[in-house]
Structures are given as C-alpha cells and as structure tokens.
Amino acid sequence: MTRSTVFAPCDIVEGDRKRGIVLLADHARRDLPDDYGSLGLPAAEFDRHIAYDIGVEAVTRELAALLDVPAVIANFSRLLIDPNRGEDDPTLIRQLYDGTVVPGNYPIASEERERRLERFYRPYHDAVGAMIASVARASGQAPFIFSVHSFTPTMQGIKRPWHVGILWDRDDRVARPLIDMLAEDKNLVVGDNEPYDGALRGDTMFRHAIVNGYAHALLEIRQDLISSQQGAIAWAERLAPIVDVIDRRADIHAVRMFGSRTGPL
C-alpha cells in the first residue's frame, strides 16, 4: 500500500480512442490517502482480496498496451469506498469484510460517507463517463466497455473451480463470444455469471454501459493465476486477440437497449 498527500482518485492510461474500446479497473489498487491512515487495519490486510483485486492492475495495463486502447484505473482501495457499487448499496463502505472488521468504517457518520463519495467515488465515475464519451466521439460509434476484476480461489472454505468468469446481465453481445472463445481452451474452466452474477443494479457496468445500451462485459480472473507479473502478462496476451476479434463484430459498436434483470432502467 502506498500513500500520497496529493491523491488522484484514478489513473488514465492513454490509447487510441478511435478503436472504440474502454478498459476499466474498479478494484485495481489498495491505496489510501494520508488522512485515512490504514483505516485502523494492520498492513497485512492490504495484501488480501478485501483491499483490492490482486493482479488486475498489471493485466489491465498490459491489455491496454497490447490493444493500444485507453483504460481508467481506480487508485483507491475498495475498503475506503467501493466504486463498483451503487451509491445506495449497503456494501458501498464495508464495515465487515470476509471476517475482518474495518475500524475506520465502523461506525461511519453520514457526513463521512458523503465526503468519500465526493472525494473518490464520484470523481472516478466522472472520469469513466468522460472517457467513454471521448471514445464515442473519437470513434464515431458506441464504445465497447470491458471491465477487469479478479476473484479468490476459495471463499468461505469452498474451492472455486473456475479459472475465469464472465459476468453480464441481459446484453450478451460481448459475454457470449468471450465465453465461447475462452472455452476453446479445454484446460480452462470458464464461468458464465460465475463466481458472481452480473446483474447488480448501480454497479459500474449498470451505470455506464447498460443504461446507455453499450456492449460490455465484466471479466473475473482467479487471483492465483495473475498474482505474478508473468501470470498477468500471460492472461493479457490470451485476452488481447479475443477482445480484438469481438471488437470487430458488426453489432458491438451499436446502441442496443436490453434492460436489466434488476428491473426497469
């Protein structure tokens, strides 16, 4: 975990915006600004998945370089506030996470909650929205949004069999070909809305892709596969040609409203 007195909520990775692709990494980093200390937690907690998605920053940066496309990377730990939740989600600021009580979040006053929304959450989403709008202008078409995450090999003592999972709601323009192409490797166990469900109202994909009718998918890679730089690069190299093929499909860069399984948009 690193800290800085000047704390930018996100990092922009530049690329060719005319490609029409935007990469996102909501949980890429575990950093906190100086004035939050360590939220009362020992340093070891920031090496765990509760603080960030292990391996995701390296995968996202390498994938952006291979495809020459832009990315928006959140710079703050999800223990501070989770950018992949709606503002009204009860897990937006975790007080208890996978057995760990977060002292700096418990209790939390409504004024502090609003402060974190204003300083970190909303600026990140403003940057995501601005990047998507910029890519749409530069490419002259609806952008393709691809969000990178990672998941733990076990959860609550249960082993997870998937190597990778694709999360989606109703729009499968990206999800279906992505699942099919990954599954061509018979050594991979590919999850379809596993280990989580892609229908989460108010999350990043809902907010920036679903409500706008943009093609999208959320990728989950098992953390032990990308915890090393070598593993992260290997997965980026696996994904780049697949994403490139999907990007060239005729229906990807069109606005299509599919709605959400969570209810009316």
> What are the extents of the domains in the chain?
10-247
What would the two tokens of residue 216 be?
């999208």
pLDDT exceeds cutoff 70 at 129: yes
**DSSP helix, strand, coil percent of the chain (3-state; round to 5):** 35, 15, 50
What percentage of the chain has pLDDT greater than the value 70? 98
Read off the pLDDT band of 79 (50, 70, 90): very high
CATH number of 10-247: 3.40.630.40
The region, left, alpha or beta by phi > 0 then psi within -120 to 50, assigned to residue 117 is: alpha
pLDDT exceeds cutoff 70 at 2: no
Where do the DSSP E strands lie in 90-242? 96-97, 100-101, 144-151, 154-155, 158-159, 164-167, 190-192, 216-222
Q: Which residue has the higher pLDDT, 99 or 142?
A: 142
pLDDT exceeds cutoff 70 at 116: yes
Read off the pLDDT band of 5 (50, 70, 90): low
Comparing 4-13, 88-97, 228-237, the range with the smallest average pLDDT is 4-13
Q: Per the omega criterion (within 30 degrees of 0), is the bond before 90 cis?
A: no
CB contact at 8 A, 93 and 82: yes
pLDDT of residue 156: 85
Q: Report the C-alpha gap between 163 and 253 in whole angstroms.
A: 28
Cβ contacts of 50 within 8 Å, gap of 6 or more: 78, 79, 94, 97, 98, 100
Model pTM score: 0.97
Q: pLDDT tens digit string along 13-42?
A: 999 999 999 999 999 999 999 999 999 999
Mean pLDDT value of segment 44-68: 98
Give, for 74, the enclosing helix (H) or strand (E): strand 71-74
